Structure 1
């Protein structure tokens, strides 16, 4: 008889035990209350049918508490994803440009205005002095200077144009895609798009890559692009390990991932 009572008590409070964990305290409390009501169903006043009805309502509140717990987990994952996206955006060239623009929009103080006036005044004096000093150059000197400019300018232009890096100077090594799920209560698949960016250019530079996600039939599901090293240059012959997974949200049907280098520049 005692064993039957113990089993009955466990079954009566089973909805409350299932609802434990996470938020939803109100729903867990209501589940506990109706579990108690179901336990007193053995009394003639309540009756067996009333106890069963209270037990069913307790299960309903337990389900609502579990749903609240899952909503809390999804909200936590969303906050982590948004924090990672904000961190990447702050490190990206666009984020830096927006930050610089906000700084430039600040009102100019009186000290800055005074400094600008002093600088422009000194520059004006130097310009006037230089004009007076070079007002009467000889024709021979002018002709020789023109020849020097004609000789020097092409070499400078050539040196400037040669100091560039192209997208073809970069390669991605060991690119791999992986879907992992570290959530315990419910599924939360996340992408890891990792690889190493190698700089084959003779100068330190950075590259912009584009990743395209396709389904099994080759249809494009999503695309992202970004600078793996942000505004940092990769040394000649060196590699930079990256993970572009946080930029792309996993979607059902993603099978193949293609990566392309679309731009390069020297920061």
Structure 2
């Protein structure tokens, strides 16, 4: 994969990252599969859910040692939290365990869709920003909620493409594109719901700054191969965005000019 130039590197909270791919670490068939996927994706950050790991009897020290060996910046998250206090407490625990101020803030408001609780999310974000965290809030594509999170001190938003783990791709293209257009200077990373590399390429073509993927990779038949495919999709989508795509048209326009065509075609002869 091509390493992005410093002029086009992903920058969050003033820090530059080597890739626009963020990779989750849950539900892989084995630690080796996870390790191979990290190598294949070359992510800028890898996420880890502190609560789930601590509550899972299989979360042996080997998991954390694997993450350290890869030397990829860690982004702890508050997955599984249902209240503001839970999320804030988990974030503080993660800061102690992983020795980082970075946190992906998740605060779930609905068990069926796993949609974020917008009111609690804003409150939790404001508290964590005051506590010195670099907060990346998992939110929907709602523009007003996004603005309130920015007002709370967040410098990055992580809107979903679709509900977590569904693999549907972007279910509200209009809303997501409006968010991008109305917040042109805010780093936006599409998180949740992407299932295919083409989904990642699509949002990157729209001008999004990165994607976070987990289930699409960990539940693939060959996770490491899928991780590589997503990395290539993100790279292709970013390159297309920077290249300036043509304007979509409703009517067909001939790609071959009339100039230079045989005279009998121009005259209508056979």
Normalising by structure 1, report the TM-score: 0.19
Q: Which has the higher contact order (CA 8 A, sep 6+)?
A: 2
Normalising by structure 2, report the TM-score: 0.19
> Considering only CA atoms, is the larger Rg found in Structure 1 or Structure 2?
1
